[in-house]
Structure 1
């Protein structure tokens, strides 16, 4: 099985389906705003290496979020920054709150960390319990992928302050769908880093750009030492800067409305168990059959969904759906009800 969602080209070839007719609900990205591309000089931006570091993007992030620009690092997607943090903490003890983005574990083990896990319980709606810890570094996705669970930034920042001997990596790739505040708005200690992505709300997954903020000067110094020159292309930097200038409040409201509507409709069907989400996706658990069966049926209906059976802490009955516009979501719902209803009547 492939590790992540979003493999549209691979599955369109495997199933012999035109890629343009296959709707990707497996990756949690939003379609980018058309305004990002207005009067964009592609030829100029792709013609040279204009700066070793994306200082313009760093300055834009600093201005938008009122953060010290010297404590911000941009990279080729937040994944590259996770890798750099794992390099810094190599051979140390790590804790990962699960279920979670699999790359935390993959990269931690790649750098010889001893990895422990703390699992959220299904019967508690996959809410993370902030209990006593004794690790060098902790990875926590908030809001969480794949469950959609969320801890208030204030509560999480208090937990961070109570555990000053541990360094926390807080992945806030989906934070805009849940809150307009961050851990960095509250935490008074320096034992944390916040990760942000331009792949989700801003829809720039293919541009590969993310950023990190930490008030910890020692971590910043180490990250700057290993961060690759030209890690963010001039084109990606320009698109990210433009994205920061746009107002996404209406888009967020639309996604939240469709998300909550779909959750209620799926709940009414009686075919799945549903879980509350503070993101742009929903996690479901099939009451009968498994996610691999559903994946195969839905792709033949023109929908690529996320089989979640490879997430630690989830069984082969879980699948995830990314929220798109109302029309697309209604189309998915109708196809799902048809596929599952047909099987029940066999």
Structure 2
């Protein structure tokens, strides 16, 4: 992990009252899932399925694709490293600012790296690298690439394979998954995470979807048993009960819009528009490091210092919307900061 991540509350001695730094769905903790895993605790006495076969079977039925088009992974991050390893010593373009693990996985596997900004990405962009990495919706900006534009890119760049990370697809109502495009385009790999939308980042669970030939090539590099027994059991439960556990997008986005409107009234902050429940704030006179430490020390509030996203700098923090009570804590804290510095 070369660049690191944002949820670093473990570094601080004081209690975290409100954690805005992680864009995991704050309401996704399922007591029913907890009880289900406890009732299946004895499965850890044996090795897990080598390739999470029972989970793959359930996902395939849910997505209406063949099992041979899927690989279950230890979180989406394992998928990124497997893909980069499969294409070792080749070239990659990463659309930035975005999740750091694409770059980390590529560097470990000796890719020649190129970067292009989200603001420059259009339906007619031409790429000249073997791989193109796109987070859709994007982290940390909340930007989206619509399926029509993605299909145009796939058609225009048939010598490039596109890795589309849909970890946050359930955090927007502006687009839906592009999995159906896989049936028409051999140069598309979609990576899905079950950790953000179902709030189980500690269990590490995800999967990738592509054509059978691509999946076979990538699977060659995958060790057995990387998805543990409890994660497999959790995945099956979540797929079967997803309608009860997935984020209520309309409510979540409404709460985010209200939060953004309130923050936009505070002097010294510039709110960047987002299609998701998380968004960037640009700071006019203070660094992200300074503001983050102030909010922690004075209020026990943790925000995401976004300065370590390639393409951003120390003027940016990222906020993930929480419930109304905690959102108000952040608004009040930032008002206090603004008044002290105005």
The partner residue of 1:182 within 177, 182, 194 is: 177
Residue 288 (structure 2) aligns with: 291
Residue 124 (structure 1) aligns with: none
Matched, 1:219 2:214: yes
Matched, 1:266 2:263: yes
Describe the superposition over 1:96-135 as per-residue Cα deviations: whole angstroms up to 9, x where unpaired.
00111111111111111100000134xxxxx733411111
Residue 8 (structure 2) aligns with: 7
The partner residue of 2:237 within 242, 245, 254 is: 242
Residue 328 (structure 2) aligns with: 330
Alignment of 1:167-178 (within 5 A): 167-178=161-172
Distance in 1, matches of 2:45 and 2:335, equals: 50
Describe the superposition over 1:184-230 as per-residue Cα deviations: whole angstroms up to 9, x where unpaired.
22351110100110111110100001110001x33211222111111
The partner residue of 2:201 within 176, 183, 205 is: 205
The partner residue of 1:139 within 112, 133, 146 is: 133
Matched, 1:313 2:306: no
Distance in 1, matches of 2:20 and 2:133, equals: 26
Does the aligned pair in 1 maintain the 2:278–2:318 contact within 8 Å?
yes
Distance 1:250 1:29, change over 3 A: closer
Shift of 1:236: 0.8
Distance 1:250 1:110, change over 3 A: closer
Describe the superposition over 1:48-100 as per-residue Cα deviations: whole angstroms up to 9, x where unpaired.
21411211211121122212221010110110110010001111111000111
The partner residue of 2:24 within 29, 50, 62 is: 29
Alignment of 1:103-122 (within 5 A): 103-121=101-119
Describe the superposition over 1:20-66 as per-residue Cα deviations: whole angstroms up to 9, x where unpaired.
x4432111112422222234325313222141121121112112221
Describe the superposition over 1:301-324 as per-residue Cα deviations: whole angstroms up to 9, x where unpaired.
111111111111112110001112
Describe the superposition over 1:284-306 as per-residue Cα deviations: whole angstroms up to 9, x where unpaired.
10122111111011112111111
Distance in 2, matches of 1:35 and 1:157, equals: 39
Structure 1 residues without counterparts, runs of 5 or longer: 122-126
TM-score (norm 2): 0.92
Matched, 1:342 2:340: yes
Distance in 2, matches of 1:250 and 1:110, equals: 34
Distance in 2, matches of 1:234 and 1:166, equals: 36
Distance in 1, matches of 2:290 and 2:113, equals: 32
3-state DSSP of counterpart to 2:249 = helix
Does the aligned pair in 2 maintain the 1:93–1:135 contact within 8 Å?
yes
Does the aligned pair in 2 maintain the 1:157–1:183 contact within 8 Å?
no
The partner residue of 1:252 within 249, 253, 265 is: 249
Deviates more, 1:261-270 or 1:310-319: 261-270
The partner residue of 1:276 within 263, 266, 273 is: 273
Distance in 1, matches of 2:36 and 2:181, equals: 39
User: RMSD value over aligned CA atoms?
Assistant: 1.8
Distance 1:168 1:250, change over 3 A: closer
The partner residue of 1:230 within 219, 225, 232 is: 225
Shift of 1:263: 1.1
Distance in 1, matches of 2:197 and 2:101, equals: 20
How many positions carry a matched residue from both structures?
A: 332
The partner residue of 1:128 within 112, 121, 133 is: 121
TM-score (norm 1): 0.91
Distance in 2, matches of 1:253 and 1:47, equals: 42
